[in-house]
Amino acid sequence: MSAAQSTLNVSGTIITQGSTGLDYTPPVLVNINACAQSYSLALTATPVQVTLPANTLWFGVQPPSNNSVALHHKWLAGDTGSLINSAYGIPCCSVDPTQLTFYLWSASNVTVTIWSA
């Protein structure tokens, strides 16, 4: 697995009760820790083994915009696999943190983004 890796950070502000109502200033940053990670994965007609990072609880597969290339997923090497939505991929799938390996492939060359946390 190679290609660009990125991290998704989610942050916001804490709203505190002021003497005359809600006080929005100064903003206090919350949840500055990374809550997801991603990397790009080139797919072909040959199944590619994907192993998610340790302690992962969910993953998603995001195809490129307007993708029409058929995408496939299977959990084990001996499975026949299943077709997944070529436009939406797998928005979010819960996983057992002790079983973090699966396979992806496509009808022709396409690069997808794997999200996990």
CATH number, domain with residue 81: 2.60.120
Q: Classify residue 46: in a domain, yes or no.
A: yes
Instruction: Say what the pLDDT of residue 24 is.
Output: 55
Q: Classify residue 5: in a domain, yes or no.
A: no
Residue 55 belongs to domain spanning: 36-116
Q: Classify residue 8: in a domain, yes or no.
A: no
Rounded-to-integer distance, Cα 14 and Cα 24, Å:
8
The count of other CB atoms within 10 Å of the CB of residue 104 is 21
Q: For residue 1, is pLDDT > 50?
A: no
Q: Classify residue 25: in a domain, yes or no.
A: no
Note the pLDDT tens digit of each residue in 48-92. Answer: 999 999 888 899 999 999 999 999 999 988 888 899 999 999 988
Helix, strand or coil for residue 14?
A: coil
Instruction: Say what the pLDDT of residue 2 is.
Output: 46
Is the full-model pTM beyond 0.75? no
Residue 27 tokens read as: 């903003």
Q: Classify residue 74: in a domain, yes or no.
A: yes
Q: Classify residue 110: in a domain, yes or no.
A: yes
Q: Classify residue 19: in a domain, yes or no.
A: no
Q: Classify residue 21: in a domain, yes or no.
A: no
Structural domain tally of the chain? 1
Note the pLDDT tens digit of each residue in 83-112. Answer: 999 999 998 889 998 889 999 999 999 999
Residues 6+ apart with CB under 8 A from 27: 13, 14
Note the pLDDT tens digit of each residue in 4-62. Answer: 566 666 555 555 555 555 555 555 555 555 568 899 999 999 999 999 998 888 999 99
